[in-house]
Each structure stands twice: as C-alpha cells, then as structure tokens.
Amino acid sequence: MLATILVIVIGLAVAAIGAFAGNVFKDTMGMSKAQKVRRGVGLAIAVLGGWIAVGAFVESAPVEGTDLNWQTEAQYEAALASAKDQGKPVLIDFWTESCTNCKVMEKNTFKHPEVAPILQSEFVLIKLNTNILYDDYKPLYDELTARYANIETQPYVVFLNGNGDFLKQFSFNGLKEKEEFAPILPQVRDASAEAGDSGLAGQIANEGLAVVLLLIFLGGIGASLTPCVYPLIPITVAVFGARTAQSRLQAFGLSCVYVSGMVVFFVAMGLIAATVGRGIGALMNSPWVLGGLAIMFIVMGLGSFGLFEMNLPSSIQNKLSQAGGKGLGGAFVMGLVAGLVATPCVGPILVSVLVFVAQSQDLLLGAVLLAVFALGMGLLFLVIGTFAGMLSRLPRSGPWMLGVKTVFGIVFIVVAFYYLKNAVPALKAPIYAAWKLAALVA
C-alpha cells in the first residue's frame, strides 16, 4: 500500500513539474517558437506523470526472482474467493517434490521475465502439492481429483475463470516452455472476462461502484466547464425562463426539468449501448478496436491542447441553446439537445462509459452511470438556474478554461496509453521505474 501511494506521489510530482516548467495552462497565442516547444515538452512530462500515477492502479510492481505470490493448500478457498472478488482468472499448479519437470517449469516458464509480471498482476496463483493434499487435505484431494481427474500426473496446470469455472480447453499436463505457455495467458484472460460477473462489471459492483459513480459525476461537472458548454450557460438559463421566473421555486422547477432532459438523453444512450452490446467484449480484445480507440483519445487530447478546435460552430451552438423556447417544455427540449452541444468536448469520456456499459450489457447499470454523468454536467445549470442572480458573478469565459481543456487533454492521452499498454510494452517502462524507486524509498 505504501509503495502504491509513493508511485502516485511520484507521478503527480512529475506531472506538476511538467506543468510548471512548460506553462502548459498558458494560451499559445503570442508565444514564440521556443515557448511553444517548451510548452510541448511540459505537456509531454505532465502526461508522463499522469500515466505513472494511473499506473499505480493498472499495473502491478515488476516481478523479480521468486516474488510470484503463490497461494498454498491452506489458502485454497480464500484464493478462489479473492479471484471472484477481483474478477481475475486462476492458475492452479499441481506439483510434487519428486517432479523434475515441475521445477523446470517453475524456473524457466513461470519466472520468465515476460511471463512473471502477467501472472503476478492478472492472475490469482495457487500451487498445490498433491502429496500434502493426499496426506493432510484428503477431502480437498478427493474433490479436486473428481473435478480435474489428472492431478496425479505432474506438472498439471489448471485454469479457472473469475467465477471459479474450469477452463478445460486451456488446462494441460506436462512441461511447457515459455514459447508455448505465454500465448495461453491472454486467451484465458479473455475467456474469464466474458464470464458474467468476473469481468469489470462484477468488480465494480462488488468493490467500487460508489467510487466509480463519484468519478463519473465529477467528470460530468468537468464537462460543464469545457468551452463547449460553459459559455452557453447564461444564454441557456435565460432562454428557458429561469432567469425571469416569478419565484425561486419556479426557477428551481424549470432548472430541474432542464437537467431531466439531459438525464433522459444520456440514459437513452446508456440503454442503447447495453442493449446492442452483445459481442462487444470480443471486439474490445481486438487490437484494431483498441488501436482505434487509442487514436481517438490521442486526437481529442491534442485538440484539448489547442492544436485544433473541437467546438461546434458558434452559430449552431446558439441555435441549439435556444431550442424549445421558454417554459417547462422548452427547458426539457433544451436539456435533450445539451448533450449534443457537449459531445465535441466530452466524446472520449462518453465513449469510455458507453464501452463499459456495452460490455456489461446491464441495462440498469447503464442507465445509472449515464444518469450520474448527466447530473454532474447539469449541476451548474441547476444552481445557476435556481439562483439566477449568480449569473452576474459567474467567472467569464477566459484563460482559466484553457486549464480545464489542458487537464482533459492530459487525461485523454493517459487513457490512450491504457488502451495501448499491452500492445506497446515500452509504455510500462516509466511505471516500472517508479515502482522500483518507490521500493527503494519504502
């Protein structure tokens, strides 16, 4: 835990250094060529720091020597429960002291530098000595013999998905060298990811739904501060009538109806994604799909850095912001079209959520996640619409919004790295370096 905190601190420190040294929140207008180069370097360092901080969660510490975390006979049930909670596949290695091939496989295959980090970070590992099982754990021995049949022939490697179901097609008897063994691991991981609650949906539902909802809500608030949405708040609030409402209660009601229109729009997107999501899990394992998503995030990130504009034309924005007119009906219609106005700035956020919803194929979860995002994006509209007098105190659109765009850009590039990390192993190098530094400090 301490090492994880230190890696996060290292990443944030690198990001802060890059942001400070490169003046990354400053507008490029009027910058000299040297200053633009400095800003570009600063952005690259800030992205690197953000990726290191995120790496504390998406990558485990590099494995060296005998650091594979094998669970033993006494920990068998607890290990299976842990795998289910984490949504991780299980590798069970049946062995005995007299099995020469077992020792060869342990040394040359499991501990190979290209295999060990994958086993350590993406699998729950169980090593069962069949002699000890027979002598001291006879009921478990009988159960495993009945289920797997071949445990007396070592080495015998068994794979389970996160639900504990036997993946017979990947399990094997006998010695396998690294070249034969390594290609099996991604196939097991993919098969486990398709096994109901063993995937990301089950992990979030069991462990971190509240945290995810909070992050999505904050993402919605961040979306309301982007150049696609924030400048339109005064116009929108005035058009649907909250600013001229006869009472604060009436203004609150109009604002709630406006936000409910946003909620309906985004929830509909979530329900569609969950409904048509069958087979999306297999697609999300395709390098072409992952590469396409990574390119999209990189493009959106570069746009957030100011290389090009991502906004809808102002004339279209103004027309959309005035759709529907005054009153409850007008407020609701304007809420519906607000999502379209925001799309150029928050597309990658929405894509991330929608891909997850499509993978889960959970209608309720899809509706909840997108509703929370819409509520986050509508919060500022609700507050300003209810307390219309606050319009005069709103910060004007200006340089501070560049900071919001830049932060979004850094996040987008980091997400692109996440999609590319398995295809481009070099992306993991700075994370592993941070882990090693944290280990020295800890």
Q: How many CB atoms lie within 10 A of CB 37?
A: 12
Please name every residue paired with 94 in a beta bridge, in sequence order, or none if there are none.
128, 156
The answer to whether domain 70-196 has CATH 3.40.30.10 is yes
pTM: 0.53
pLDDT along the chain (442 residues), means of 10: 80 90 78 86 92 78 64 89 84 91 91 86 90 89 89 90 88 91 88 56 55 82 71 62 63 83 84 64 62 79 72 50 56 74 62 69 79 87 71 56 77 82 79 80 66
* pLDDT, position 324: 46
Which contiguous run of DSSP H or E holds residue 74? none
Q: CA geometry: angle at 143 spanning 66 and 90, to 5°?
A: 35
SS3 279: coil
CA-CA distance, 120 to 59, in Å (whole number)? 10
Per-domain boundaries in the chain: 2-59+433-441, 70-196, 199-420
Report the DSSP beta bridge partners of residue 70: 125
According to DSSP, the residues that pair with 95 across neighbouring strands are: 129
CB 436: neighbour CB atoms within 10 A? 15
User: In the prediction, which pLDDT does 198 show?
Assistant: 39
Residue 321 confidence (pLDDT): 47
Nearest to 258 by CA among 172, 331, 166, 159: 331
CA 418 – CA 129 distance, rounded (Å): 38
Helix then strand count (H, E) for the chain reads 20, 5
Residue 64's pLDDT is what? Answer: 52
Kindly calculate the radius of gyration of the chain based on its CA atoms and give it in whole angstroms: 26
